[in-house]
Amino acid sequence: MEHPEYAEKYAEGVPKSDPIGKVKQASDARFLSGAEGTYVSAGAAYRSSTGAGFVADVGSENYLTSYLTQRISLSGAAGWDQASIGLDSGLRLQTPTRLAPFVGVGGYVGMNWETVDADDDGIDNDEDGSTDELGEEDTEYDLTMASIYPEVGAHFWWTPHARLTGFGRYWVTTDGRESDAWIVGGGLAIFRK
């Protein structure tokens, strides 16, 4: 591998007669401590109240150690009649290997808006001169929606600087259990050191 720290550490390589050492050398990613990068990710979301949707974010991630990362991003989510935008942040604990399973915890703070049925609220929401007509809808805004979530997934180092990630999360929101969401997605990160 052409990463300078890795190349220096394994300049002589492991003898062919040491298969365990070869596996260790091939999977070693301890050189990542201190690496910084940017990432994009996207995925599918499911909420029991609104059904399927999608999520996307762009942000930065830092390796605090070879096995612990910290990330922050601008994140958005949208479904059939609901959308949200805000900041997402989290920590991931992983193996210091090229194929690195991880567990994590994160949080999201943002603004949420959704379309709701309004055919029984006594207001002419669509301003057509009729109050509480069948199928009338309104938009509700929540300027302080937040969630916390556990996360599981895996990273795969495609090159010394490019990493692919797959993840699964369960958002527990401040808007109640009907707004909780399952999220499954993937991303690409580019690192420098």
* pLDDT over 70 percentage in the chain: 67
* Average pLDDT over the chain, rounded to an integer: 80
- 164: nearest Cα among 144, 183, 142, 191: 191
What pTM was estimated for this model as a whole?
0.74
Strand partners, 58: 40, 74
Does position 61 have pLDDT exceeding 60, yes or no? Answer: yes
- 5: pLDDT strictly greater than 50: yes
pLDDT (mean) for 160-172: 93
Is it the case that residue 121 has pLDDT exceeding 60?
no
Give the 3-state secondary structure of residue 25: helix
Res. 48 pLDDT band, cuts 50 70 90: confident
Query: Between 137 and 51, whose confidence is greater?
Result: 51
* DSSP symbol at 101: E
Selected residue with higher pLDDT from 128 and 152: 152
Q: What angle do CA 20, 67, 166 make, to 5 degrees?
A: 90
Structural tokens at position 193: 């050191």
CA of 24: how far to CAs of 18, 42, 89, 132, 171, in Å? Answer: 10, 32, 32, 68, 36
Domains belonging to the chain, first-starting first, are 27-111+146-192 (2.40.160.20)
Rounded CA separation 98/163 (Å): 9
The pLDDT, as a whole number, for residue 13 is 58
Distance CA 56, CA 79 (A): 12
| Per-residue pLDDT band at 47 (split at 50, 70, 90) | confident
Quick one: pLDDT band at residue 22, thresholds 50, 70, 90? very low
pLDDT of the residue at 31: 64
Hunting for tokens 């050191």 — which residue is that? 193
Tell me the pLDDT band of 81, cut-offs 50, 70 and 90: confident
Residue 132 has pLDDT above 90, yes or no: no
